[in-house]
């Protein structure tokens, strides 16, 4: 059985699940309920997006079960990054 390497950072908002699919190992990431709202509030308050936050955003983009409100919040975060209103930082967490 092949092993899928773990992501270098595990965010508290993600719950990984390893699934066997026709002999292949895949990893599914499920967001904890309310994670997007928490990420949106924290990023808006700090003006920064940590490495862990970016992994959570990546998981959210790939999550097909997001509500319309969560999808809009993700879009607003991405737009804020492109406008320079949110700054990506290399810190694991911006919470002090």
If the chain, 96 residues long, is cut into consecutive pieces of 10 residues, what is the mean pLDDT of each piece? 49 49 60 87 92 89 87 94 93 72
DSSP string spanning 79-96? HHHHHTSSEE-SSS----
Q: What is the pLDDT of residue 61?
A: 86
- The Cα-based distances of 23 to 3, 26, 29 in angstroms read 11, 10, 19
Residue closest to 62 by CA, chosen among 38, 30, 35: 30
How many Cβ atoms from other residues are within 10 Å of residue 77's Cβ? 22
Q: How far apart are CA 34 and CA 92, in angstroms?
A: 20
The pTM of this model reads 0.65
């Amino acid at each position: 059985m092949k092993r899928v390497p773990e992501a270098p950072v595990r965010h508290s908002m993600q719950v990984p699940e390893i699934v066997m699919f026709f002999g292949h190992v895949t990893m599914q990431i499920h967001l904890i309920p309310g994670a997007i709202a928490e990420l949106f509030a924290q990023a808006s308050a700090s003006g920064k997006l940590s490495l862990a936050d970016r992994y959570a955003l990546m998981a959210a983009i790939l999550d097909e079960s997001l509500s319309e409100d969560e999808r809009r919040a993700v879009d607003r975060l991405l737009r804020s990054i492109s406008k320079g209103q949110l700054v990506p930082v290399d810190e694991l967490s911006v919470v002090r």
